[in-house]
Structure 1
Amino acid sequence: MKEIDLKKLHTNQRLLVEELKKRGCETSILDDDIELLEVTYGQHHEFLLDRFTSKVPHTLTAITRDKYMAKYLLRRAGLQVPEGKLFDGDQIDAGITFAQELGFPVVIKPNWGSHGDDVYSGIESEDELNYAIKQMFLTRGEATPFFIEKYFEGKEYRIFITGKGDFAAVHRDPAHVIGDGIQTIAELIQAENERRMNPRTTCLCPIAFDEIAKQYLQKNGYSENFIPQPSEKIYLRLTSNVAKGATCEDATDKLHPSVIELAQKALHVFKGLPYAGVDFLTTDITRSQEKNTYRILEINPNPGFAMHMKPGNGTPRNVSQLL
């Protein structure tokens, strides 16, 4: 076993290890490649893989990562999720027919995945849907099961919730730039990425200027050479994953009690899961939630800590201590 070099751990695991050390836990690394750690405290012994411990049942991890099954269970419990359907890789025509019946705009995403990879949101036509499916197949293969669901207009939040009732929340705003009347969109992205990463002091990641971002700009009548007016806000995508460049602001004190109740209910659907990150869309986080004002998008059994502990704006919340 080797001593842990905290600088070599990815951010979320490092934050947890730092909290363990504060509490007098002995930690050592067993495998550098997968970041498998061994932790002891008195007579208690744990293996730590990423943030997974013996407290997180493997069965529930598998169920929550299956977007179709997770949504089915949430809906069965009376929670609001986007209306949608799962399709196999050879059911493109059936998927397009379903989207037409459902009504555009829609969202397409692979049934398994994270960080917003290959998620296309706000699709408004059959041509756009065909393009998104083909792009997803290029990166994941034509056998990839995919989900088509109704697009819901609202602000997106990640709610960290525990079985004991502890919680924290951040608002994630999709990647964007703010104009200065001088620089192009491409130059603003470069400058913002430089600001975020040198030095890096928050959870914010570089803005991903990928094919999805370029297509979104084009769809809205912009190019990377466009010069926004001073204070003009130009979005680069609709999905709000921090890994793709979304901003992140603490919203813990803004949550209406009904939001916390819904997050708790969502967690309890997966009996035995001690904590989770709930991706929550709402028209207003400060008001009592009704059936038509919110949607639960996903349940993450391995939620990130950095967005709460080192948000781009707002009060840091030490969620690692809750574990």
Structure 2
Amino acid sequence: MKSSDLEYLYNNIPYTERNIYPEDIEIENVAMYKDYMKDNGFNYEYEKLDTGFMSANLLRQDNSKIAGVKNPYYPTNSRLSFSIARNKFETEKYLKAAGVPTTNSKKYTLDQLATAKKEALSFAGDIVIKPLNLALSKGVYSNVTADTFEHYWKLCSNIIKKSKRKGKHILVQEYIEGFEVRVTILEGKAVSVMTRLPGNVTGDGQSTIEELIDEKNEQKKQCGFLSKYPIQKTKVIESFLEKSGYSYDSVPAKDEHVLLLSVSNLANGGEIVDISDLVSEEIKETALDALAALPGMNCGGIDIMIKGFDDTTPKIIEVNAFPLLSLTKYPTYGKPSKAIEYFIDATIVRDQYLNNTDNGYEIENKEEILSNYFNFFERKQRLAVNQFMESRK
């Protein structure tokens, strides 16, 4: 994200008050599903697996199993789709074959620095360096130039070496103008659209940036789990500020928004804004196409770069097979989503339809859920034809 993007968001987001949450709120996906089933009278099982993760099983009223959710899998996502989503380069191939707008990437091993730097010059403008298969924005560096390429390559390489993932590769991508939004899709419905703001402060005309950071960290203590992720006054932020013409001692003007980092990462003090009712239908449709392009995937988080809420040409940058629903339920600004509720209701309706059975539960929005299912299935078929025709070329 650039400073101009931050300015756009603050000028176009109607929310002025932060949401306040208890500090002890539940944020783990499977546990949130369990809590919803328990609070609403659904039969369920909650158990610890040999992997150490928890599993929440939704049961019919006769206690037979409908489906189970366990980290990091949704029951209606195939293992193939999960494998594709973890590999950003493979994901890009599937998206392009389906005709879904996405990034242009090149893949390299960690020892191909010289080759990667030379070929990166083929991209117009700045570039992005990121690991092939790490999540949560780990090792992602944007706005990389020819002068800083080697520096960020080494930083990314070190993060990859410390990870336990197989496939030690780096992706080099063209930098896409705009800011990142996450569209969360569950069982064929876009249940949430949010954007993650990088660490930033707003000037009051008197306080230094360092003082504004301290003040914001105090405010974050009222935002539930986000209180665990304060803005750290690191050398990385210091360097970023210096390149932007600031220092920790600078005093921004009143209402001046100062970006502290370019990557939207909650662990580095980022914030969440729900924009579900603000973005264009084209953005939601592009996200639905991206998920439908991966065979066997029905639930996921789609990361998209957009230039504004009314953007008609968004680009997909990543697909996540097990999105964190706490981000949609506990935004810093805006209204919380009902993602948890929708998934459980949809799972019950799906069981009733596919098995022609009465599992004992009445779901009010049954017709809407079935309509979303059928529309998403047709979307998958259409994109599968595109992929088949592309493979014949």
TM category, shorter: 0.7 to 0.9
- 2:157 aligns to what? 137
3-state SS in 2 of match to 1:253: coil
Distance in structure 1 (CA, Å) of the matches to 2:334 and 2:231: 20
Q: State the 1:136 CA deviation.
A: 1.8
Pick one of 30, 35, 39 that aligns with 1:18: 35
Relative contact order, CA 8 A, sep 6+: which one is greater?
2
Indicate the SS of the match to 2:102. Answer: coil
For residue 127 of structure 1, give the secondary structure of its aligned residue in structure 2.
coil
Letter in 2 for 1:25: N
Alignment of 1:24-63 (within 5 A): 24-30=42-48, 34-41=52-59, 42-44=63-65, 46-50=67-71, 52-63=73-84
Q: Name the CA distance, whole Å, in 2 between partners of 1:31 and 1:13.
A: 12
TM-score by length of 2: 0.72
State how many pairs are aligned: 312
C-alpha spacing 1:167/1:203, structure 2 compared with 1 (3 Å)? farther
1:78 aligns to 2:99 (yes or no): yes
Q: Which residue of 2 aligns with 1:294?
A: 314
C-alpha displacement of 1:156? 1.8
- Is 1:306 the counterpart of 2:332? The answer is no
Partner of 1:3: none
Cα displacement string for residues 72-101 of structure 1 (whole angstroms, at most 9, x for unaligned residues): 111121111122211111110111112212
In the other structure, the counterpart of 1:153 is 177
Structure 2: which 5+ residue stretches go unaligned?
A: 1-23, 344-393
Amino acid at match of 2:148: E
Distance 1:104 1:286, change over 3 A: closer
- The answer to whether the 8 A contact 2:181-2:193 is kept is yes
CA distance in 2, matches of 1:203, 1:19: 24
Mark the CA change 1:13 to 1:193 in structure 2 (over 3 Å): closer, same or farther: farther
Change (3 A) 1:150 1:209: farther
Q: % of aligned pairs identical? A: 23
- State the 4+ residue runs in structure 1 displaced beyond 6 angstroms: 201-204
| Structural RMSD (CA) | 2.6
- Higher CA-based Rg: 2
Separation in 1, partners of 2:43, 2:242: 52
Q: Structure 1 residues 117 and 224, CA, compared in 2 at 3 Å: closer, same or farther?
A: farther
CA separation of 1:311/1:28 partners in 2, compared to 1, >3 Å: closer, same or farther?
Answer: same
Q: Which structure: greater helix fraction?
A: 2
Alignment TM-score, normalising by the size of structure 1? 0.87
Q: CA deviation at 1:147?
A: 0.8
Cα offset, 1:189, TM superposition: 2.0
Counterparts of 2:72 and 2:341 in 1: how far apart (Å)? 13
Matched, 1:113 2:137: no
Q: Flag structure 1 segments of 5+ consecutive residues without an equivalent.
A: 1-6
Cα offsets for 1:121-158 (capped at 9, x unmatched) = 1113x221111011122333398311111111113211
Structure 1 residues 176 and 59 mapped into 2: Cα distance closer, same or farther (>3 Å)? same
Q: How far apart are the structure 1 equivalents of 2:126 and 2:26?
A: 40
Tell me what 1:207 maps to: 231
Instruction: Give the match's secondary structure for 1:131.
Output: helix
